[in-house]
């Protein structure tokens, strides 16, 4: 999958995921909490007492104010992006074992065209890298087979292909930083409102003070709940991708080295002394 198709695939994935989330959230039976206190409420109503209202997850989110909306959007984006990257960043799609064995076998016999044909039939990262770079193998240069040109082609291919994927992975870092800043913004806003209500009421309205402090704490917690896993996922997928790219580069270089060793096998043996002649 090329960089462009990788990005297009993610766009289709995020659209589908968003539609599913919207559909589920609009379902009448979808609830954020269970009414576990219903029997107790009935008993309290029968006794003439008003049952205390249970604070639900939705109540806490609403208590976080408008700041929870962008934090919620970032959380959905993080989940969709993580699932997509988890499906795409697999060894089978980057360095499949069967293609690796074929390339090493063909290049060991200096069958460069066969290695290119086998790679062209595989859509993996390694397949595209081999197809792009091995076209620069120079048969007229028996000593190196144009190794410098092949390595330059591998580097150019890596730069082109890494752009799209690393951009998507980088979004996880953006999500982590954005969620943290939004949580901090909500914290500052909540504390400003808390001190403002304290100044207006002279400290005689603890309910308003508690509500504003709740706003500050909930937005802080919401931002951290999104930011902490996002930053871990960023480094996880970044390291995973870099490892797969490094493995693909290593296979391509080792295949070229195998062909060079085969071509120069006779010359290498000629430099090995037969032994020491006794005088």
Segment 32-74, tens digit of pLDDT: 333 434 444 454 445 545 555 665 545 555 655 677 888 889 9
CA distance linking residue 21 with residue 27, whole number of Å = 10
- Say whether 170 sits in a helix, a strand or coil: helix
Question: Does position 136 have pLDDT exceeding 80, yes or no?
Answer: yes
What pLDDT is attached to residue 33? Answer: 39
Cα 117 to Cα 2, 40, 132, 163, 245: the distances in Å are 18, 73, 11, 26, 21
Confidence of residue 28 (pLDDT cuts 50, 70, 90): very low
- Say whether 139 sits in a helix, a strand or coil: coil
User: What are the pLDDT digits (tens) for 63-115?
Assistant: 556 778 888 899 999 999 999 999 999 999 999 999 999 999 999 998 999 99
User: What are the pLDDT digits (tens) for 233-266?
Assistant: 999 999 999 999 999 999 999 999 999 988 887 5
**Nearest alpha-carbon partner for 145 in 224, 235, 260:** 260
Q: Which residues, other chains included, contact 209 with Cβ-Cβ below 8 Å and sequence gap of 6+?
A: 194, 197, 198, 201, 203
CA distance linking residue 148 with residue 156, whole number of Å = 12
Cα 182 to Cα 13, 61, 156, 193: the distances in Å are 26, 14, 39, 16
DSSP of 52-78:
PPPPPHHHHHHHTGGGHHHHHHHHHHH
209 contacts 118 by C-beta, under 8 angstroms: no
CA distance linking residue 17 with residue 229, whole number of Å = 19
- Say whether 241 sits in a helix, a strand or coil: helix
Confidence of residue 210 (pLDDT cuts 50, 70, 90): low
User: What are the pLDDT digits (tens) for 159-208?
Assistant: 999 988 999 999 999 999 999 998 888 888 777 777 776 666 665 566 66
**Nearest alpha-carbon partner for 248 in 91, 98, 134:** 91
């Amino acid at each position: 999958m090329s960089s462009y198709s990788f990005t297009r695939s993610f766009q289709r994935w995020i659209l589908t995921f968003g539609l599913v989330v919207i559909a589920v959230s609009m379902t009448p039976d979808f609830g954020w909490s269970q009414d576990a206190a219903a029997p107790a409420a009935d008993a309290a109503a029968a006794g003439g007492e008003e049952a205390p209202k249970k604070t639900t997850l939705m109540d806490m989110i609403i208590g976080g104010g408008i700041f929870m909306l962008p934090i919620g959007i970032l959380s959905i984006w993080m989940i969709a992006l993580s699932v997509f990257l988890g499906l795409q960043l697999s060894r089978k799609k980057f360095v499949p074992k069967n293609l690796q064995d074929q390339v090493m076998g063909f290049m060991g016999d200096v069958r460069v065209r066969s290695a290119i044909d086998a790679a062209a039939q595989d859509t993996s990262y390694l397949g595209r890298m081999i197809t792009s770079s091995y076209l620069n193998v120079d048969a007229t240069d028996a000593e190196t087979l144009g190794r410098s040109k092949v390595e330059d082609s591998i580097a150019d291919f890596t730069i082109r292909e890494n752009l799209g994927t690393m951009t998507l992975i980088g979004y996880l870092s953006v999500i982590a930083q954005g969620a943290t800043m939004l949580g901090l913004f909500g914290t500052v806003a909540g504390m400003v409102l808390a001190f403002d209500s304290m100044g207006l009421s002279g400290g005689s309205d603890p309910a308003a003070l508690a509500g504003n402090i709740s706003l500050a704490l909930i937005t802080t917690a919401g931002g951290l709940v999104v930011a902490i896993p996002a930053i871990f996922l960023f480094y996880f997928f970044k390291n995973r991708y870099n490892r797969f790219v490094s493995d693909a580069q290593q296979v391509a270089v080792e295949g070229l080295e195998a062909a060079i060793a085969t071509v120069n096998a006779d010359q290498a043996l000629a430099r090995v002394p037969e032994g020491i002649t006794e005088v």
